[in-house]
Structure formats: C-alpha cells, structure tokens
Amino acid sequence: MLMCVRENKFLVIVLVLLSGMMMAQTVTPVAVKTYSFINYNENYLHYGKDSSLMMNFFNKVTEMKDKKRDKVTIVHYGGSHIQAGTWSDKLIFNFQAIGNWEGGGLYCFPYKIAKTNSPHYFKSFTTGSWKRFRCATWKEMCVNLGMAGIAAVTNDSSNTFGVKLELNKHHEKFNSLKIYSNLNPSFQYSLAPMASKYIRRDEIQKGYTVFEFEEYIDSVNFVLTKVDSIRKDFMLYGFSLENSKPGFYYAGFGVNGAASNSYLKCNLFGQQLETIKPDLVILSLGVNDTQGKDFTKDEYIEHYDSLIMEIRKVSPDCAILLTTTTDNYIKRRTANKRTVKAQDAMFELMEKHRAAVWDLYTIMGGYKSIAKWYKVGLAARDKVHFSPRGYGIVGQMMFDAIDKSYKNNLKK
C-alpha cells in the first residue's frame, strides 16, 4: 500500500512538471510587474475612430497562423533606440513565438562595416576600408540614401565583405538574399566559394541583386573587385536575409541621432521600401527632435505627416503604430519638458492617419521617470538611452500591448 502511494505521488509530480513544460512552450511571457514607477496598467494600444488598418494587420497574422500566408512584414523606424537592437530582438522573438515560426527574414544593415554599433543578433565583416553616410547629420549626409537611412561606401580596388546571423532564437538561417547597392558598373561583386549552390539574378530597376540558395545557410561573404575607374564608389545599403518558411520579416531601421525629418532626406526611401511592402510600420522617433531648442509641435507633426504619406504611397493598407517619445534629460541635468508636446502630437496624428499609439511616455512613468529607470540600472547615465535590461523591458512591453490588442480582436 505504501509503495502504491509513493508511485501515485511520483506520477502526480511528473504530470505537474510535464504540464509546466508544455505551458512554458506555448505561453508568451509578459513583462513582470517589478517596478513601482512603471505604469503597467497603461500598457495597451490607443485607437482613434478608425482602427481598421491595425485590425487588417491582425487578420494577416491570423492568416499566417491558419497557413493561408507565409509572411507578415514589420518595419520599425527609430534612432539609437532601434540601432541598438535589444528592443528589436525582444520584439521579434515574441512575434515569432506566436506560431513557433523560424521563417520570414531580417533586413540587416552592416553597421560594423560602417564603424558604428550593431544589434547583436547578426554581425557584418570586411577586409576593406569603408566610409559611413547617414541621414542624421549633414556632415555624413548623402543624397542617394535609401530606406535604411544609412550606407557604407568604398572605393577599394579589392575588398571582401559579408554578414552572418548569430544565435538569436528567432532568425538563424536564410535561403535567399537580396543585396541592396548602387549597382555601380565600375565594381563587380560575387559570392566567395561556398558549398551551397545558388542562382543569381540582378534586379537593376529595383536596386538589388538576388541570390537564391539550395540550402539554408547562416552567412555569406562577397568578393568586390574594381574593374575600372569611370565611376567612383560602391555604395552598400544592406542585406535582406529571407527564409521561405512561414514567419515574420522584420526590418529595424535605426540610425543614431535620427529625428522625425531624417528619413525624408533619403531620395531612394520610397523606391526601396516598396520592395519589402510593409504590413506594419512602427515609428519610434522623437527623442532627438525634443532635444533641440527649436522644437515645435507643429513642425514635428508636419514631419510625421510627410513620412506617413511616403510609407502609404508604397503600401496603402499598411498599419501605422506610433510610439510616444521616451522621457529624457538634456545634457544629463535638465528634465525635458518638450516630451509632453511630442506626446500630444502622436494622438493628433493617430486620428489623422488612422494609426494606433503606444504611449511609452506614460507607461515608463512620465516626466522625470528616466531618472528612476537609471537609479535601478534600467537606463544609461545620459538619461536618454536605456540599458540592455531596460531595452528588453521596453521591447517586451511593446509586444505585450500589441498581443493584448490582437487577442481582443480575435474575440470580436
């Protein structure tokens, strides 16, 4: 009898453990309510009178769950918050976890080649010398920038460059690649010898070259050779690493120092964005706007108006999610009151453009809240940027808000 009781207890323990393991695989983690200054109850999406475009995005996600489509595309614009990549990494991981997907793809700009900080879920490399151009400063501005707002340029006669996906738990393999460049005929590039067979196709009108591989791979290395000196400079805009299995395609376009008008300076913005046709565009710009003394709410709205119009030209039914500007300090000492005006602007834009708003400013605690984040190690010393842990919380909470709205839409 005693043996039977022990066996039953053991069976119960095993069943509980197995149940916990199954739940861990299917339930998406949410941001733990740890910090008193974070307004967790405010973590939801705001809508105006017309929420149809965001609902359309949610329907596309459901179609992918039902195996009626293979890909949903998300584009995220921002400044250094997005270039850092930790916010993005958390967001992508959670989106892929909805269906345990591993396909879709990533747009990867070779930040390391351009001598600037890069997300940790991929790395770029080169043997040559490159110069950086970006839309955030006039000193580094070039008229022919594209949708990423940044480019790497070289005039080396012989050069190699490439990209590799790191272990990241959301996108680790690809079987198709688009390399965006200025397709300068004075330069020729080809893949270094590799085991996988592939087909190459030059899409000159679209501004990229396609490589389709027989196998799934995690890296590529290109050999660049200068064949004449008629036209100087080979300009590299980035890599689109695509996986034909179902999943989210994510393009994180972050440029350190970018403001709401920065991407409007890029002549090839619309031409390149049309090649990936976003289903959802997240706009997280504003910190660098509010840092300026000449900031005005009206001008800020005008910039956003123009940017949204450019996006809708190439993807008319694209959903727009606006992020309110994070609380920040000016030169580490002065709390920035302009963020309140920037917050108001987002809600005006919401009504005007049938967009949704994620009010990160209120969620993080409002005015002077970044100082509280800094005290507990969630923000950097400059009281503008977050720490990696802080960015992880922001990314998780953004997904939680989107997921909550998505599930409410499913119920309806």
β-strands 198-203, 158-165 pairing: unpaired
pLDDT of residue 411: 78
SS3 68: coil
CATH T-level fold of 107-245: Jelly Rolls (2.60.120)
pLDDT of residue 3: 37
Overall average pLDDT of the 138-163 stretch: 93
Overall average pLDDT of the 219-225 stretch: 97
pLDDT of residue 5: 36
Overall average pLDDT of the 40-67 stretch: 97
**CA 200 – CA 16 distance, rounded (Å):** 52
- The CA distances from residue 40 to 78, 113, 180, 265, 377, in Å, are 23, 39, 41, 37, 18
β-strands 280-284, 71-78 pairing: parallel
Is there a contact between 380 and 387 (Cβ–Cβ < 8 Å)? Answer: yes
pLDDT of residue 139: 86
Overall average pLDDT of the 123-148 stretch: 93
How many other β-carbons are positioned within 10 Å of the β-carbon of residue 301?
19
Overall average pLDDT of the 342-363 stretch: 98
Overall average pLDDT of the 31-49 stretch: 93
Closest C-alpha to 271, from 234, 236, 237, 314: 314
For residue 230, what pLDDT band results from cuts at 50, 70 and 90?
confident
Q: Is the pLDDT of residue 245 over 50?
A: yes
% of residues, the chain, pLDDT over 70: 92
Q: What is the dihedral of CA 144, 145, 151, 155, to 10 degrees?
A: 0
Homologous superfamily of 33-101+247-412 = SGNH hydrolase (3.40.50.1110)
**CA 7 – CA 212 distance, rounded (Å):** 56
pLDDT of residue 158: 87
Question: Which amino acid is present at 16?
Answer: V
* Residue 57, C-beta contacts closer than 8 angstroms, at least 6 positions apart: 72, 279, 280, 319
Closest C-alpha to 353, from 310, 309, 289, 406: 309
Return the percent helix, strand and coil in the chain, to nearest 5. Answer: 35, 25, 40
Q: Is the pLDDT of residue 9 over 70?
A: no
pLDDT of residue 1: 37
How many other β-carbons are positioned within 10 Å of the β-carbon of residue 382?
13
- The sign of the dihedral angle between the CA atoms of 191, 196, 197, 201 is negative
* Residue 134, C-beta contacts closer than 8 angstroms, at least 6 positions apart: 114, 140, 141, 145, 149, 150, 151, 255, 256, 257, 258
Half-sphere exposure of 203 (CA within 13 A, CB side): 14
Q: Which residues pair with 241 in a beta bridge?
A: 106, 177
Is there a contact between 58 and 124 (Cβ–Cβ < 8 Å)? Answer: no
Q: For the chain, what are the domain ranges?
A: 33-101+247-412, 107-245
Supply the mean pLDDT for the chain.
Answer: 92
pLDDT of residue 19: 39
Instruction: Dump the DSSP string for 36-67.
Output: TTS-GGG-SEEE-S--HHHHHHHHHHHHHHTT
**CA 212 – CA 86 distance, rounded (Å):** 29
pLDDT of residue 30: 64
Overall average pLDDT of the 162-191 stretch: 97
Closest C-alpha to 245, from 276, 216, 273: 216
Q: Is the pLDDT of residue 31 over 90?
A: no
Q: Which residue has the higher pLDDT, 2 or 246?
A: 246
Q: Which residue has the higher pLDDT, 101 or 229?
A: 101
**CA 77 – CA 310 distance, rounded (Å):** 13
pLDDT of residue 2: 34
Closest C-alpha to 125, from 180, 83, 164: 164
Q: Is the pLDDT of residue 142 over 90?
A: no
* Residue 222, C-beta contacts closer than 8 angstroms, at least 6 positions apart: 160, 161, 162, 179, 189, 190, 191, 192
